[in-house]
Amino acid sequence: MNPLLPWIPGLPLAAFAILILVGRRLGRASAGVSIAAMVGSLALTGALAPAVFRVEHVGIQWTWLPHEAGRFQIGLAVDGLSFLMLAVVTVVGTLIQVYSVGYMHHDARFSRFFAYLSLFCASMLGLVMADHFVLLYMCWELVGLCSYLLISFWFEKPQAAMAGRKAFITTRIGDTGLLIGIILLAFTVGELHLDRLSVVRTQLVLGHHETLLTIISLLIFSGAVGKSAQLPLHVWLPDAMEGPTPVSALIHAATMVAAGVYLVARTLPLFTPPSLMGVLGIGLATHLFAGTVALTMTDIKRILAYSTISQLGLMMTALGLGAMELAMFHLFTHAFFKALLFLGAGSVIHATHHQDLAQLGGLSRLMPWTAATFLIAALSMGGAFPLSGFWSKDAILLEAHHAHPWLMWALLGGAIMTTSYVFRLYLRCFHGASHGMHHPHESPVVMVLPMAVLAIGATGAGFFGSPWLHQPLLRILGETVVHEDVDPAILLYSTVALVTGFLLARIVGFRRRSLLPSWLRPVGTWLYRLAANKYFIDEAYNRFIIQPFLRLTSALSRFDLRVIDGLVDRTGMAGWSLSQLKDQFDRQVVDRLVNGLAQVVRTISQLGRRIQTGLVHHYLLCVVAAVVLLLVWLGR
């Protein structure tokens, strides 16, 4: 029972609460609150390191619902996998928050931004420490919410608002699959604690229920497909670049999109060979697809977005091979160099107020620190020798070669594309002719310092998984020695891929010379246009899913208006008509009766009146007549 654990997500959560309530009064100090919370979480995570490395169980549990059948325990637990994620989130999160002080300096909603960042970090930390599916799902949704809030942070821009909506709805589709998977798991097996999943697997396999296991694991994977922007739910990530660049760096490069990878890694015991094949297939397809699109984009953030999609596809491929440790290792190194790439892009955008390659160029002289750190990140991503990206990518290539030889060649193709697009970006942005910018200058220290720290990480993080240091990272993830030393063949292949990619970038991407013979050029142009339009997936979704759905809803709306409202209105009208009828009856029949009666009385009285003439001699006549009658009557 470790009582300090809840404070790891608790400190940023407290920061969020403070900043939401009194942030506006704190002004610039809001950043201090937020960063202090993150540093606190970082320190606590560091304090956990010894215990994790000794492979002790670190956890804390609470009883949520005391139930007669058994207490419903839910809590936080930290094992090697969680610890790795904690390290990534706290380190990268802190650095990006420091960077944001500079980037968001002129923003009117400064404190709100840090509030949302804190909430995001709190949710992410909770997600990776959850030991129960329900808690994980809650944090999963919270993370999605923060993504929405931060993407549409500048909501005055309609594209930003639309992008936030698109992100939320697309990931929601995946989340629904995840929810169904969790519910299915709960109703069939009844076990939702994440540390008992291997038991579940053994149970179901022995009972010949592999199909159920496959279905559950694929449903869970669909959540990861949404969150980690894999095919076919990747469409939200490029649009999410409308958000501020620190957001893109933190959420859409290093952490939130990695949550999908974490989820699959955590629930790997539930994955059967068929579902692993599905994971592999989607991961590989995504990796290659996104790579081709990234080669054609001209907006620097979009290139990096597709790069992220591609690298996540690579991680999914590794998971599909069953190599959870290698996928997580790549997630670890990727967090560093991708965050650094995004921060560098942000630095460029902040200085030049441009995002398109057509308007950028020759910045290396004016922004040396940005250019240098960007180059390190690019080399790391490309897999240059002792930098971090090399170690993780090569480990995956080796594993792929062992499993399916053709897979390694496919991944090498992907690696060529990766190097190609990133160096195309680097060369076009930092070298060559500048396109008339108005004195861009290097970014302030508060932005450069995190970039420098990340550059150190991008360089050295790989050593934690390298065979030279006996792979401490992989050991805490549960794997004993994976590889003895660097495989020379793989090293050769990947270096060739790196150089090829760089040359392609330089010749085709930078100097703009076509390498294709003239008879192939039309094919090349056609392929280029296909990729540049992102294979028309957005258009296809719009035409075949969104528009029919909107037509359905408007048809239903018209039905509601005409039929249902019509029914209600007509019922009202019927009541009104009935009352009109009654009114007529009342008026014509009843009133006439009453008035008629009065009229009869009046007529009779009018007639009766005529006796009273007021003339004496008439009265005398009556008297006499009466006497006569009396006499006659009495005389009978």
Nearer to another protein, 545 or 620 (CB): 620
Do 399 and 321 touch, CB atoms closer than 8 A?
yes
Nearer to another protein (CB atom), residue 624 or residue 630: 624
Element (H, E) at 66: none
CA distance 473 to 454: 18
Asked if residue 616 binds another protein (CB under 8 A), the reply is yes
Q: Contact region for another protein (CB under 8 A) — 139-147, 199-207, 329-337, 613-621?
A: 613-621
Stretch that binds another protein, among 307-315, 324-332, 441-449, 609-617 (CB under 8 A): 609-617
| 606 touches another protein (CB under 8 A) | no
Q: Are 408 and 397 in contact (CB under 8 A)?
A: yes
Cα distance between residue 174 and residue 194, in whole Å: 20
Number of residues that bind another protein (CB under 8 A): 11
Among 436, 517, 614, 635, binds another protein (CB under 8 A): 614
Output 438 or 610, the one with its CB closest to another protein.
610
- What's the min distance (Å) between Cβ of 570 and another protein? 59
Which segment (183-191, 216-224, 259-267, 620-628) binds another protein by CB under 8 A?
620-628
| Nearer residue to another protein within complex by CB, 568 or 623 | 623
Binder among 67, 441, 617, 636 for another protein (CB under 8 A): 617
Stretch that binds another protein, among 313-321, 347-355, 553-561, 615-623 (CB under 8 A): 615-623
Distance of alpha carbon 318 from alpha carbon 327, whole angstroms: 5
Residue 613 lies near another protein (rule: CB under 8 A) = yes
Rounded least distance, CB 632 to another protein, Å: 16
| Dist. CA 385–CA 124, nearest whole Å | 32
Q: Could you tell me the two tokens for 609?
A: 């009146």
d(CA 235, CA 541): 10
**CA-CA distance, 285 to 236, in Å (whole number)?**
17
Positive or negative: CA dihedral 184, 190, 192, 194: negative
Whether 534 contacts 293, CB under 8 Å: yes
Q: Dig out the tokens for 220 from the structure.
A: 């869970």
Does residue 603 bind another protein (CB under 8 A)? Answer: no
Out of 277, 578, 620, 626, the residue judged to bind another protein by CB under 8 A:
620
Helix axes 29-53, 110-129, angle to 10 degrees: 10
Choice between 25 and 617, CB closer to another protein: 617
Tokens of 147: 């993504």
Q: Binding residue for another protein (CB under 8 A) from 615, 631, 632, 634? A: 615
- Residue 122 has, within 13 A of its CA and on its CB side, a CA count of 23
Cβ 636 to another protein shortest distance, Å: 22
Q: Cβ neighbours of residue 232 under 8 Å, at least 6 residues apart?
A: 225, 537
629 counts as binding another protein under rule CB under 8 A: no
Q: Which of residues 446-505 bind another protein (CB under 8 A)?
A: none
Does residue number 621 form part of the binding site for another protein (CB under 8 A)?
Answer: yes
Cα 57 to Cα 195: distance, rounded to the nearest angstrom: 11
Render the burial of 524-544: b for 16+ CB within 10 Å, e for the rest.
eeeeeeebeebeeeeeeeeee
CB of 626 to another protein, least distance (A): 13
Partners of 160 in the β-ladder: none
Q: Which two tokens stand for residue 203?
A: 């149970």
| 3-class secondary structure per residue, 250-317 | HHHHHCHHHHHHHHHHHCHHHCCHHHHHHHHHHHHHHHHHHHHHHCCCCEHHHHHHHHHHHHHHHHHH
Q: Which is nearer to another protein, 402 or 602 (CB)?
A: 602
Candidate list 70, 484, 612, 634; residue touching another protein; CB under 8 A: 612
Binding mask 553-592 for another protein (x = CB under 8 A): ----------------------------------------
Interaction mask 103-132, another protein, x per CB under 8 A:
------------------------------
- Joined together, the tokens standing for residue 608 give 């009766």
Which is closer to another protein, CB of 206 or CB of 607? 607
Closer by beta carbon to another protein, 480 or else 612: 612
Q: From the list 208, 439, 513, 609, which residue makes contact with another protein (rule: CB under 8 A)?
A: 609
611 binds another protein (CB under 8 A): yes
Instruction: Please identify, among the stretches 150-158, 204-212, 245-253, 617-625, the one whose residues bind another protein according to the rule CB under 8 A.
Output: 617-625
Q: Which residues bind another protein (CB under 8 A)?
A: 609, 611-617, 620-621, 624
